Amino acid sequence: MHLVIEPGLASANYWRDLWRYRELLYFLAWRDLAVRYKQTAIGVVWALLRPALTMVVFVLFRRLVGIDRGGVPDALLVLAAVLPWQFFANALSESSASLINNTNLISKVYFPRLIVPIAAVFTAFVDFLITVGLLAVVMAWQGFAPGWTLLALPLFVALTFVLSTGLGLFLAALNVEYRDFRYVVPFVIQVGLFISPIAFSSANVPERWHGLYFLNPMVGIIDGFRWSILGGRTPIDPASLGSSIAITAAAAVAGVWYFRRMERHFADVI
């Protein structure tokens, strides 16, 4: 007698399964964090080193080019943008490769595969929370106190999380079918670093290019982070924010739809 375990065919059953297996999500996220920091000489400092070095490089770039500070210290202006970008880049990189990195688990046991890339995003989120400590230190060093706009920060964190998850699901499914995409993702992230408003602000972009520039969903998110963290001292264009929200929602829907469409074949081709 053979027992065959199959996922629920209806979407309602699938989402119920996702909730039932939530402890697996916590386990995978914890495992990834433990592996990342195990036997490292300086532990969580690695999570702070990359954004700190990125901040230094872009601050030097701003001063060499002579970009207007706008009344905000360069270190804070850059770091407030580096935080969401690092969260997005880490989450996208790890979630897109998550299925390939868990081949043995996926090919042997049934569970909702959505858990794997979502756990990778949670791992990146923990790194993000660590880097928030770096931001607090820099703000204290600069004598800069946040205002009431900080209350809006969770909204922009949520947007980054949803955007990373949506795109990560899409790319994770593509990675299973077409392994070449493992080389595409780092290139896209590298290009995105320079076309997003990190070393500069959206106000430095000519207005005639705004329509095209705002198609990058990280523009509105980064501007929102700066606006909320820096007490409204940097502007946020409602058009860029609206574009980011619309593209994030579309990415989430498309990512879940494509992932669910391809999920039944993962164990066969991975």
The tens digit of pLDDT for each residue in 50-60 reads: 888 888 899 88
Residue 264 or 69, more confident: 264
The verdict on residue 43 lying in a domain is: yes
The verdict on residue 13 lying in a domain is: no
Instruction: Inform me whether the pLDDT recorded for 212 exceeds 70.
Output: yes
pLDDT at residue 31 in the model:
86
Helix, coil or strand: residue 146: coil
Per the structure, the count of domains in the chain is 1
The verdict on residue 200 lying in a domain is: yes
164-203 pLDDT per residue, tens: 999 999 999 998 888 777 788 888 899 999 899 998 888 8
Cα torsion 88, 92, 95, 98: sign:
negative
Instruction: Inform me whether the pLDDT recorded for 131 exceeds 70.
Output: yes
- Six token digits for residue 18: 């996702």
> Helix, strand, coil shares of the chain as percentages rounded to 5?
75, 0, 25
DSSP readout, 174-221? HHHH-TTHHHHHHHHHHHHHHHSTTSS-GGGS-GGGHHHHTTSHHHHH
Q: What is the mean pLDDT of residues 17-25?
A: 83
Residue with tokens 């990195």: 101
Instruction: Inform me whether the pLDDT recorded for 7 exceeds 50.
Output: no
pLDDT band at 228, cuts 50/70/90? very high
pLDDT at residue 3 in the model:
40
**Cβ count near 4 (within 10 Å):** 5
Which of 103-112, 154-163, 166-175, 261-270 shows the lowest per-residue confidence on average (mean pLDDT)? Answer: 261-270
The verdict on residue 36 lying in a domain is: yes
Helix, coil or strand: residue 96: helix
Alpha-carbon span 140 to 61, nearest angstrom: 23
Residue with tokens 């607090």: 136
**Cβ count near 217 (within 10 Å):** 25
**Which structural domain, as residue segments, surrounds residue 107?**
21-269
Between the two ends of the chain, the Cα-to-Cα distance in Å is: 28
Residue 43 or 247, more confident: 247
The verdict on residue 86 lying in a domain is: yes
Q: What percent of the chain has pLDDT over 70?
A: 90
In terms of average pLDDT, the best of 62-66, 103-107, 197-201, 215-219 is 215-219
Q: Which residues contact 257 (CB under 8 A, 6 or more apart)?
A: none
